[in-house]
Amino acid sequence: MTSETPVLSVSSLVKRFGDVTAVDGVGFELMPGASLGIVGESGSGKTTTARILAGLDEPTSGTVLLAGEPVTGRSRRARLHRARLLQMIFQDPYGSFDPRQTIAESVAEPIRLHLPDLSGADRRARVAELLDQVGLSERAGGSPPRELSGGQRQRAAIARALGIRPRVLVLDEAVAALDVSIQAQILTLLDSLRRDTGIAYVFVSHDLAVVRHITDTAVVMRHGRIVERGDTETILRDPQHPYTRLLLDSIPVPGWDLDRVARDRRALDASR
């Protein structure tokens, strides 16, 4: 496998729920160590796309290639193959741990599943290393999730996802539920993890400031379609699609013109 092979390659992905088409012909590529933003509002299909990548939903049609190989189905082999290469971080840091397990036990679970030959001592060492890597104390590792703050839990979720050294991390609104100061900490952590491990990110978010910080390239989704793609900086500085402009104008800044935003939205909705 050369570094020229995209680690994740998605083409003409379609997902229908009954009459609703949530994802409509989405395609993109992700090179190893790259970071791609998927931007859009609620209902734009970005979370569904992320869930398909993680194998939580099956696409109606289209293909997902991981390291050049197609992944489909929920057979044991397919499941393990996919999880080895791609892990996901969820929006809700409060609910993403089994309340009966300590953080360290939760972090150990995927290692136990994917590296069953690892001895107990080695596994504990790996867990300690992971917790250290995300800046969690040994004491936090021994606590049940309810005793940790949201930021600590999201750190723990990152540690759990990194445990089996996946090549892609899908982050679905991973910092949206956190305070702004905590957001910054987590983003800084993600940045340094990417530099250290060479992992690639698919960063799903409605928050353009966050996307600007964490991604190199981005796609903008609306009604299940990609309406604009390119370098994150370029898109955010010089948006081509009216919807991207609208998203940018919707951010509250000094001199913000709410009426103009509402007018633009009506015009955009009418044009469709």
Give the binding site for other proteins (CB under 8 A): 54-56, 76, 79-80, 82-84, 87-88, 90-92, 94-102, 104-105, 109-110, 113-114, 139, 141-144, 146-147, 157, 160
**Shortest separation between residue 11's beta carbon and other proteins, angstroms:** 22
Task: Report which of 145, 15, 166, 35 is spatially closest to residue 93, judged by C-alpha positions.
Answer: 145
Strands of the 168-172 sheet, one edge to the other: 86-89, 168-172, 200-205, 35-39, 217-222, 225-231
Nearest distance from C-beta of residue 74 to other proteins, angstroms: 8
Nearer CB in complex with other proteins: 108/235: 108
Min dist CB 92 to other proteins, Å, is: 5
Q: How far is the CB of 63 from other proteins (least distance, A)?
A: 19
In our burial notation (b when 16+ CB lie closer than 10 A, e otherwise), range 182-204 reads bbebbbebbeebbeeeebbbbbb
Closer residue to other proteins, CB minimum distance, 84 or 167? 84
Give me the least distance between CB of 130 and other proteins, in Å please: 13
Nearer to other proteins, 146 or 272 (CB): 146
By beta-carbon proximity to other proteins, the closer residue of 10 and 235 is 10
147 alpha-carbon distance from chain centroid? 25
CA distance 139 to 132: 11
Rounded to an integer, what distance in angstroms lies between the CA atom of residue 252 and that of residue 214? Answer: 21
Nearer to other proteins, 68 or 142 (CB): 142
* Residue 189: DSSP 8-state: H
Q: How many CA atoms lie within 13 A of 204 on its CB side?
A: 25
Of 132 and 147, the one with the shorter C-beta distance to other proteins is 147
3-state secondary structure (DSSP) of residue 161: helix
Shortest Å distance, C-beta 82 to other proteins: 7
Residue indicated by tokens 């044991």 = 76
CB 238 to other proteins: min, Å: 36
Cβ-contact 39, 102 below 8 angstroms: no
Q: Which CB, 148 or 236, lies closer to other proteins?
A: 148
The DSSP call for residue 119 is -
